[in-house]
Chains A and B, each alone.
Chain A
Amino acid sequence: MDSFWSVLGGAFALVFALDPDLMEIIGLSMRVTLTAVFFACLIGLPLGAAVGVFKFPGRTFLAVSLNALMGLPPVVVGLVVYLLLSASGPLGPLRLLYTPTAMIIAQMIIVTPIVAALTRQVVDDLNREYAEQFASLGVGAIDRLVSLLWDARYSLLTVALAGFGRAVAEVGAVLIVGGNINHVTRVMTTTIALETSKGNLQLALALGVILLLIAFAVNACVMAIRATAVRAAYA
């Protein structure tokens, strides 16, 4: 096994070679993960906020469930999605198995509870501060939800990033429902798994370093957007 530095050098060499296959894999990783996180936020943000703000029977149960679902094993999600999308499954006629869409669905199921549970906590905290003022002003339910989500936007960016981190590093579910098909459903993590199984440990590690760099870049971008927004707001 070569040293860490030669692995790192190998990773950079791979990136700067702009190998079209690698670029395709990185592109697909980003497309699948960002789409999954986008839809997870679309569902998870209002869901989490509603559980955080409204009092209804079963609210605590729902909050505990969301927290528990954060630990959902990706392989189980992959299996369930496989069984749903399989030709013999209830959604078989949609022909989605072994497509990027199937991977997006699986990742969305993994990420949505994370987004919802963390949103619930963030919004719950903010609501403790705002609740009396909102009640005093006579703010309606929907306006309360929207206002809390908007006012918590910077914290919620971090929530979305947590979801992104989980999704982009996920391998078990996308391997099962995507099939790791070359040029179709092969993403960074499944490529790493494949190269490991081929015994190309150095290449696998270099790909891992690249994945880490991508995750770093995405986080840096979002943090830059956030910092710019905050700076603009506080100027």
Chain B
Amino acid sequence: MRDLAFDMPAAPSSCHRTATGEPILEARNLGFEAGGQRLLHGVDVSVRRGARTLIMGPNGAGKSLLLRLMHGLIKPKEGEVLWQGSPLTKKTMRAQAMVFQRPVLLRRSVLANLKFALSVRGLQGRPRAEKIDQALASAGLSHLAHRPARVLSGGEQQRLAVVRALACEPDLLFLDEPTANLDPASTAAIEKLVLEANAQGITIVLVTHDAGQAKRLGEDVIFLQDGRIAETGPVDQVLNRPRSEPARAWRDGRLYLGPDLHSVSSYPGSNT
């Protein structure tokens, strides 16, 4: 693993290491409120170009919301998202791609799903066909090209979703718990695709709450709790030597109820 650096000046508990790569995407003071409830409180994030950043935290921490704000699927009402230093626009959004927890595939063949995504990017004819062949091969789906995408297995569907996103040649790929519903073999296949993409220079931002996956994939970790950043840093440090109470509770499998309350064990009778 490279010597990681991650800098979160606004995060109270961040370790103050200096970033080496320039940030490809930054979120500044992001806040979000829905139905009278604050879901995000002044979140600052900096994603290094070429890095693999994990967003972690318990259910309801605001991980998926943060991902959607960073991708521009939801317009921020407080704060801003900067793409290479300028505000995110529809055009610069095209330099990003996203894979959802449940793959959203059109009710068409595997081939047609890739064709659709590439056509949106203006690719036609031979270049598109070549790109499709390449994507199918990398996902191991060539023999299923003419199947309706909806009848594939969950693992095959998610592989298709990943290579469809990658076929659009993004600079940054968001993944929202892409393996949450998959078996270990399918999970490994997705992780392999993600690592290959990263090796080609694509920046990865991935939401997960699987510690094993975090260790296999992660470089930088952003740990969210109740819409606030609890801790940031290299994956090894956040998972093995957490300094914040929420991250510690998460590591120990306890439910964190807030700074004023004792956290309770998730299993009755287990030692806390």
Contacts from A to B (Cβ < 8 Å): 129-130, 132-133, 135-140, 143, 147, 150-151, 233-234
Contacts and interface: CB of A to CB of B under 8 A. Distances in A.
A143 B104 contact: no
Chain B interface category by residue count = 20 to 34
A143 B117 CA distance: 11
Given A136-B73, A137-B168, A233-B148, A129 B120 contact: no
Nearest to B71: A136
B117 to A, nearest CB: 6
B93 A138 contact: yes
B94 A132 contact: no
A132 B90 CA distance: 14
30 contacts: A129-B104, A130-B106, A132-B73, A132-B98, A132-B100, A132-B104, A133-B98, A133-B100, A133-B104, A135-B73, A136-B93, A136-B96, A137-B97, A137-B117, A137-B120, A137-B168, A138-B93, A138-B94, A138-B120, A140-B120, A143-B120, A147-B106, A150-B108, A151-B106, A151-B107, A151-B108, A233-B109, A233-B148, A234-B147, A234-B148
A89 to B, nearest CB: 45
Contacts of B120: 137-140, 143
B151 interface: yes
Interface in B97-152: 97-98, 100, 104, 106-109, 116-117, 120-121, 147-148, 151
A230 to B, nearest CB: 9
Contact of A130 (B73, B104, B168): B104
Contacts of B104: 129-130, 132-133
A150 B71 CA distance: 27
A131 to B, nearest CB: 9
- Which 10 A-B pairs give the minimum distances between C-beta atoms? A133-B104, A136-B98, A151-B107, A138-B94, A233-B148, A137-B120, A139-B120, A135-B73, A132-B73, A151-B106
Contacts, number: 42
B141 to A, nearest CB: 16
Contacts of B98: 132-133, 136
The main secondary structure of chain B at its interface with chain A is mixed
User: Chain A's interface: helix, strand, loop or mixed, by majority?
Assistant: helix
Interface of B: 68, 71-73, 90, 93-94, 96-98, 100, 104, 106-109, 116-117, 120-121, 147-148, 151, 168
Looking at B96, B97, B106, B108, the one whose CB has the most chain A CB atoms below 10 A away is B106
B161 to A, nearest CB: 9
A133 B105 CA distance: 9
Contact of A234 (B73, B97, B151): B151
Contacts of A133: 98, 100, 104
Given A143-B120, A233-B148, A136 B107 contact: no
A194 B236 CA distance: 86
Given A137-B117, A147-B106, A233-B148, 9 more contacts: A129-B104, A130-B106, A132-B68, A132-B104, A135-B72, A136-B97, A137-B97, A138-B121, A139-B120
A133 B176 CA distance: 12
A121 to B, nearest CB: 17
B101 to A, nearest CB: 11
Most buried by B among A135, A137, A234: A137
A147 B120 CA distance: 11
A139 B94 CA distance: 10
B106 to A, nearest CB: 6
Nearest to B168: A137
A139 B121 CA distance: 9
A129 B121 CA distance: 21
A26 to B, nearest CB: 36
Nearest to A144: B120
Nearest to A148: B106
A129 B107 CA distance: 12
Contacts of A132: 68, 73, 98, 100, 104
